Amino acid sequence: MKFRKQRIPLNALVGILIVGAVALAAVLSQFWTPHDPLRINFGSRLRLPGGSYLLGTDEFGRDELSRLMAGASTSVWISLLTVSFSIVAGSIVGVLTGFLRGWTDRIVMAFNNALLAFPGLLLALGLLAVVGANQYGIILALGLAYTPAVTRIVRGTVLSLREKEFIESSRVLGNSELYTMFRHVLPNCTAPLTVLATSMFGWVILAESALSFLGLGVPPPAPTWGNMLSSARPFMAQASHLSILPGLCIALTLLGINLLGDAVRDWLDPRMKGVQ
Amino acid sequence: MTTTPLVSVEGLTLAVGAGGREIVRQVSFDIAPGEMVGIVGESGSGKTQAARAIMGLTPPPLVRTAGRILFEGEDLAQARPQRLRELRGLRVGMVFQEPMTSLNPSMTIGRQLGEALALHRRELPPDARRALILDMLARVGIRDPQAALGAWPHEFSGGMRQRMMLASVMLLQPALLIADEPTTALDAVVQRDVLELMVGLTREHRTAVLMISHDLPMVARFTQRVVVMRHGEVKEVGNTDDLLARPQHPYTRELLEAMPRRLPARPVAQEAPVVEVRNLVVDYPGHRRLFAKAQAKRALHGIDLVVRPREVVAVVGGSGSGKTTLGRAIAGLLRPSSGEILFRGRPIARSDPQWFDYRLQCQMVFQDPYASLDPRMTIGQLVGEGLRLLRNMSAADKARRVQEVLDEVGLGSDFAPRHAHELSGGQRQRVAIARAVVRRPGFVIADEPVSALDVTVRAQVLALFAELQKRHGFSCLFISHDLGVVEQVADRVIVMQDGRVVEQGSRDAVFDHPQQDYTRKLLSAIPALESTDSGGVRLRWRFGAAVAA
């Protein structure tokens, strides 16, 4: 395909910068952090930012910056895997049911709607009780909890796509139903999927912190932005930076991902080429 | 005799923004009271915007940069919005193209028709308004006006809705009716009925009509004068008959040449048929509810037909006649309830090992070039996809074939990396044709392949199709409601009505000596062309009297 040189729009650039910085911090934390994020030091509890602890310390005297960096790697990793899991599972189920219709569709969608009617977090809690509260348990539980929403949206898009003439045109060429589904139907779902994936990223980070708050998140002492936020709650008055900093990290990351998501959606859409 | 014109458009120029591109340039024309004037042009010619400017209804980015619009001597360009609102509806009415969306689906017919009366004829008591509405509905041919008052738009067909639209506009007896492609979305017979109704109604009320269309023969049938527009400029204005018979501008001549006309009949060898359909029945299943099943609807009642090698068989009929269903069933997109389809003498069924071979041999060109190409694929990929399932063809051969076919359809390999949205409608339909012929099929089904295209583009695509058909010798089932196009391309014609074949025969037999009333009615909607010495044409309408009587 011919490469078209285009100016990268400003919002995409900001998105790339933010997401890049977060990813860099997450990777870096695997090799180096200013202090050990897990080392407890009661001599320096609840320090304010400044000095050798650049962003202060928490209620156990652990370095906040180191914990934020380490937290980035767990939070981002969990969200990434969870979102990928639901998108892949939801797309496959959504395309199959939406395209094939009939009994498959009815049975799967009845089940799907039942899951949707059930609060996602409650569902995740139940699943966690079964699979155990660890990083991969959380991914599985949240992933399954968010899959019905993806299925629903993909199916809706597929229902309108399957009536288009280009789908019939593919059939007339002798392509199998499976090929048609994954070559013609699925790629045309990318726009709603990218929008959904980017907003889901935010939901997952928040859900993970909610789970941590209930004691079912990533078990301490390993830091995640969510459990840092919830453990900072009693110290809101004395050390507000402990709440503000992880919250800011979550908000900034979400902003970055949303900007990037919009840019990716436009970039994947051939109709947007040459516009601007 | 000099009368003051009802509307006089003088040097009208519309641009996108004050200094932007000019969509309409220096357009001038007059409409006398009670006169019928047509504006003819292709998409993008500015005809719709020029007409809408009379009502002050051009979309926001368009501004009038020059010219005047005089309505009964009053300069509308200077009029305040308040005054324009008074004129709209009461003095100038408008009928839109798409009857499916121009009525509000959440209002009953009665309320919608009453709306304009309530606004402009406030002095009338409700009973009198109601009586007026009932009269008008009866006049436009609604069978039970009383019941129609409480009915919803979705309960009526497109033709019926357009009649109601017309009724709602004519209720106020405006001095001018602007009809923007009023019947383009309807099939030929309904189209003619609605237009005749429009002409009758407007004559009764001495309403002038400005008819906007891309369809020159249709406009010519009903108007006294025609304005030909292209690229925002008026190319020619004149008395309709003179303009057709002695076109002055090259573009007018081009439009006339693009009108489909009969070519000499080709001999068709009586060889064994390529495709044979025996007693084909298709039912559409009713909607399944939770506990019940609505009754199935029979779309085809036992169709028989044969298509011989290198033959073009046209299937014609109004909407709902089952012609598209027939094409889809033969293409294997629908499962017939009973009956047989034979390809080169062998019955074809999905379980048959020959099915796949038939799939490869039978290709289809769809109606809407905007929906039949996957927006995410490049033209090269779209055309190349047709070769994907040919296992014993090398990648290099495939690439060469794609190139060759793109050249054949007049696009060239420059188009290969582009996407469908970068192409015009005609170019897209060329891609669709390339996709169908790239595998060198034996049989092509073309479902209304040119109905979405402008007249001159239509002529080019039809010429391309005929040339490819001659070169590669495939048989073709050509489905269309446009008998003009059929007259040009078909060797044999099958006329369908309500899921049954009512008449079939060679093109000349069906067009010159139709046996059925329905066929005569279809034919009466299109003109036969007779060339004149001065490079123009004269239109001859068939069976006009026979049908009217």
Whether A138 is covered by a domain: the verdict is yes
Asked if B364's CB is within 8 angstroms of A169's CB, the reply is yes
pLDDT at position B286 is: 66
pLDDT at position B544 is: 57
pLDDT at position B291 is: 63
Q: What is the CA radius of gyration of chain A?
A: 22
Q: Pick from B356, B374, B388: which is nearest to A184 by CB?
A: B374
- Contact (CB, 8 A) for A273 and B421: no
CA dihedral A173, A177, A181, A183 (to 10 degrees): -40
For chain B, give percent helix, strand, coil, nearest 5. Answer: 40, 25, 35
CATH number for A142: 1.10.3720.10
Q: Which residue of B has its CA nearest to A187?
A: B376
Q: Which residue of A has its CA nearest to B419?
A: A270
Whether A151 is covered by a domain: the verdict is yes
Contacts of B389 in chain A (CB under 8 A): 173-175
Parallel, antiparallel, or unpaired for β B62-71 and B346-347?
unpaired
Q: Pick from B356, B371, B419: which is nearest to A270 by CB?
A: B419
Asked if A187's CB is within 8 angstroms of B376's CB, the reply is yes
For B350-403, what is the HEC assignment? CCCCCHHHHHHHEEEECCCCCCCCCCCCEHHHHHHHHHCCCCCCCHHHHHHHHH
Q: Pick from A172, A175, A273: which is nearest to B331 by CB?
A: A172
CA–CA gap between residue B430 and residue B465 (Å, rounded): 9
- Contact (CB, 8 A) for B517 and B548: no
Asked if A174's CB is within 8 angstroms of B376's CB, the reply is no
pLDDT at position B39 is: 92
What is this model's ipTM?
A: 0.74
Whether A152 is covered by a domain: the verdict is yes
For B312-350, what is the HEC assignment? EEEEECCCCCCHHHHHHHHCCCCCCCEEEEEECCEECCC
Domains by residue range for chain B, with CATH: 33-55+82-257 (3.40.50.300), 275-286+294-513 (3.40.50.300)
Q: Pick from A165, A174, A273: which is nearest to B356 by CB?
A: A174
Asked if B389's CB is within 8 angstroms of A164's CB, the reply is no
For residue B124, what are its two tokens? Answer: 């009338």
The DSSP call for residue B294 is P
For residue A71, what are its two tokens? Answer: 């937290």
Q: How far is B384 from chain A (nearest CA, A)?
A: 11
Q: Pick from A165, A172, A175: which is nearest to B363 by CB?
A: A172
Contacts of A184 in chain B (CB under 8 A): 374
| Chain B CB within 8 Å of residue A176 CB | no
| Chain B CB within 8 Å of residue A184 CB | yes
Contacts of A171 in chain B (CB under 8 A): 332-333
Q: Which residues of B touch A (CB under 8 A)?
A: 328, 331-333, 356, 359-360, 362-364, 366-368, 371-376, 378, 385-386, 388-389, 417, 419, 421-422, 432, 435, 439
Contacts of A174 in chain B (CB under 8 A): 356, 359-360, 389
Chains A, B: CB contacts within 8 A come to: 68
pLDDT of B169-213, one tens digit each? Answer: 888 889 999 998 887 777 777 888 888 889 888 888 889 999 998
Q: What percent of chain B has pLDDT over 70?
A: 96
pLDDT at position B545 is: 44
pTM: 0.81
Residue B538 has pLDDT above 90, yes or no: no
pLDDT at position B546 is: 41
Contacts of B294 (CB under 8 A, 6+ apart): B286, B287, B288
For residue B106, what are its two tokens? Answer: 């959440």
Averaged confidence pLDDT in chain B: 86
Other CB atoms within 10 A of residue A112 CB: 22
Q: Residue A100: what are its φ and ψ, rounded to 5°?
A: -85, -25
- pLDDT top residue among A104 and B2: A104
| Chain B CB within 8 Å of residue A273 CB | yes
The one-letter amino acid code at B26 reads Q
Q: How far is B377 from chain A (nearest CA, A)?
A: 8
Residue identified by tokens 């007259």 is B487
Q: How far is A167 from chain B (nearest CA, A)?
A: 8
CA–CA gap between residue B343 and residue B358 (Å, rounded): 7
| Chain B CB within 8 Å of residue A265 CB | no
Q: Which residue of B has its CA nearest to A164?
A: B371
Whether A154 is covered by a domain: the verdict is yes
Asked if A169's CB is within 8 angstroms of B432's CB, the reply is yes
Q: Which residue of A has its CA nearest to B421?
A: A271
Contacts of A190 in chain B (CB under 8 A): 376
Q: Which of A2, A164, A167, A173 to mutate to test the interface with B (most CBs of B within 10 A)?
A: A173
CA–CA gap between residue B442 and residue B472 (Å, rounded): 9
CA–CA gap between residue B275 and residue B383 (Å, rounded): 25
Of the candidates B174, B173, B172, which has an alpha carbon nearest to the alpha carbon of residue B122? B172
CA–CA gap between residue A225 and residue A253 (Å, rounded): 11
Whether A45 is covered by a domain: the verdict is no
3-state secondary structure of B40: strand
Contacts of A273 in chain B (CB under 8 A): 419
Q: Residue A237: what are its φ and ψ, rounded to 5°?
A: -75, -45
Whether A44 is covered by a domain: the verdict is no
Contacts of B520 (CB under 8 A, 6+ apart): B514, B542, B543, B546, B547
Kindly list the strands in the beta sheet with B346-347, ordered across the sheet, starting from the edge strand earlier in the chain.
B297-307, B275-284, B338-343, B346-347
C-alpha distances in angstroms, A133 versus A9, A212, A246? 41, 10, 22
C-alpha distances in angstroms, B22 versus A262, B430, B486? 34, 30, 38
Asked if A188's CB is within 8 angstroms of B376's CB, the reply is yes
CA–CA gap between residue A74 and residue A81 (Å, rounded): 11
pLDDT of B251-260, one tens digit each? Answer: 988 888 888 8
Could you list the beta-strand ranges (E) of B436-548.
Answer: 443-447, 475-480, 492-497, 500-506, 527-531, 537-541
CA–CA gap between residue A164 and residue A98 (Å, rounded): 13
**H-run or E-run covering B281:** strand B275-284
Q: Which of B374, B377, B390 to mutate to test the interface with A (most CBs of A within 10 A)?
A: B374
CA–CA gap between residue B451 and residue A82 (Å, rounded): 49
**H-run or E-run covering B103:** none
Whether A34 is covered by a domain: the verdict is no
| Chain B CB within 8 Å of residue A170 CB | yes
pLDDT of B406-417, one tens digit each? Answer: 999 988 888 888
Over range B531-544, report the average pLDDT: 75
Of the candidates B157, B79, B85, B155, which has an alpha carbon nearest to the alpha carbon of residue B120? B85
Q: Give me the DSSP letters along chain A.
A: ------PPPHHHHHHHHHHHHHHHHHHHHTT--SS-TT---GGGTTPPSBTTBTT-B-TT--BHHHHHHHHHHHHHHHHHHHHHHHHHHHHHHHHHHHHH-HHHHHHHHHHHHHHHHS-HHHHHHHHHHHH-SSHHHHHHHHHHHHHHHHHHHHHHHHHHHTTSHHHHHHHHTT--HHHHIIIIIGGGGHHHHHHHHHHHHHHHHHHHHHHHHTT-SSPTTS--HHHHHHHTGGGTTT-THHHHHHHHHHHHHHHHHHHHHHHHHHHH-GGGTT--
Cis preceding linkage at B260, omega within 30: no
Give 10-residue mean pLDDT values along chain A (276 residues): 58 88 87 78 73 74 84 86 94 92 88 87 85 83 91 92 88 87 89 87 82 77 82 82 86 87 81 53
pLDDT at position A274 is: 47
Q: How far is A111 from chain B (nearest CA, A)?
A: 17
Polymer length in residues for chain B: 549
Q: How far is A134 from chain B (nearest CA, A)?
A: 41
For residue B19, what are its two tokens? Answer: 């200094």
Whether A198 is covered by a domain: the verdict is yes
| Chain B CB within 8 Å of residue A166 CB | yes
Over range B341-367, report the average pLDDT: 83
Other CB atoms within 10 A of residue A46 CB: 15
Q: What percent of chain B has pLDDT over 90?
A: 21
Contacts of A266 in chain B (CB under 8 A): none
| Chain B CB within 8 Å of residue A187 CB | yes
Residue B22 has pLDDT above 60, yes or no: yes
pLDDT of B386-396, one tens digit each? Answer: 888 888 888 89
Q: Number of structural domains, chain A?
A: 1
Contacts of B458 (CB under 8 A, 6+ apart): B258, B260, B450, B485
Structural domain span for residue A233 = 10-26+64-269
For residue A212, what are its two tokens? Answer: 């941590």
